[in-house]
Amino acid sequence: MKIATWNVAGIRARLPNLIKWLKNEQPDIVCLQETKIVNELFPRSMIEGLGYSIACSGQKSFNGVAILAKKSPDETITKLPGDENDEQARFVEAVFSLNKTILRVVSLYCPNGNPTESAKFPYKLNWMERLYQYAKSNLNHEEMLILAGDFNVIPSPVDARYPQQWVKDALFLPQTRQSFFKLCNLGFVDAIRASTDDPSYTFWDFQSGAWAKNNGIRIDHVMLSPRASDILKGTSIQKDLRGWEKPSDHVPVWVHLDLDF
């Protein structure tokens, strides 16, 4: 089976590209971020027409995540535990019962955290700590768990074309990277980094000709629990979508698993 994560930067603006891409690539599961739409207005019909179930957690204007899948999930969760008052739609989980196994998939949109002197940075770090606690408690089940999405974390200098540009940015500060590595130290595998040493980016800013200059960063990640990393077959970053008409500033990240879906 193949699973992809893609920050679409507005699902309504990206719908033609999303539909074309789904038809071309036939993913089994897709984790979307920055849908920027309430659940009631989610553009269901064309996506369902291609054979996908939809689990979404959205809000007006900002954030919003979804999971599209060729099977219907047995269970859906739309809140990251740890803060009852958190109204931001950044987490959706879908649980799939497969032949003798369970696959748990999360589409997540970690806060950006800039500017770092504002409340946004502690909110980011707190959200990442909540994700860590969630991941840790789920590992006890020894299921296949996939955390896929826009982490807004540049893990290492190799993950930026110009790392010195990011040293004071919330995406690359030591506290942010430590929080990401804490997740890795639970046993989660960064699927792209496990598969290749090549520098490869998932985001290029719309501004300043970042795409033309390949001034990119790798911030969209697929993290595999030990049971899931055991069946990792391969990965890719679908850079060509950044060159399409009306692109998102992010491109899809793909993971292939040795698993029937």
Partner DNA sequence: ATGCCGGGTACGACCCGA
> Which spans of this chain sit near DNA (rule: CB under 7 A)?
7, 9-13, 34, 36-37, 60-62, 111-112, 114-115, 120, 150, 152, 168, 171, 203, 205-208, 217, 219, 246, 249-250
Which residues contact residue 114 at a Cβ distance below 8 angstroms, ignoring those fewer than 6 apart?
120, 121, 169, 170, 171
Q: Which is nearer to DNA, 62 or 181 (CB)?
A: 62
Q: Which is nearer to DNA, 51 or 115 (CB)?
A: 115
Closest distance to DNA from the beta carbon of 17 (Å)? 9
Query: 257, 15 in Cβ contact below 8 A?
Result: no
Closest distance to DNA from the beta carbon of 123 (Å)? 9
Residue 81, CA distances (Å) to 54, 86, 104, 112 in order:
22, 9, 16, 19
Closest distance to DNA from the beta carbon of 126 (Å)? 15
Q: Which is nearer to DNA, 9 or 67 (CB)?
A: 9
Q: Which is nearer to DNA, 219 or 224 (CB)?
A: 219
**Helices 174-185 and 120-139, packing angle to 10 deg:** 10
Closest distance to DNA from the beta carbon of 46 (Å)? 15
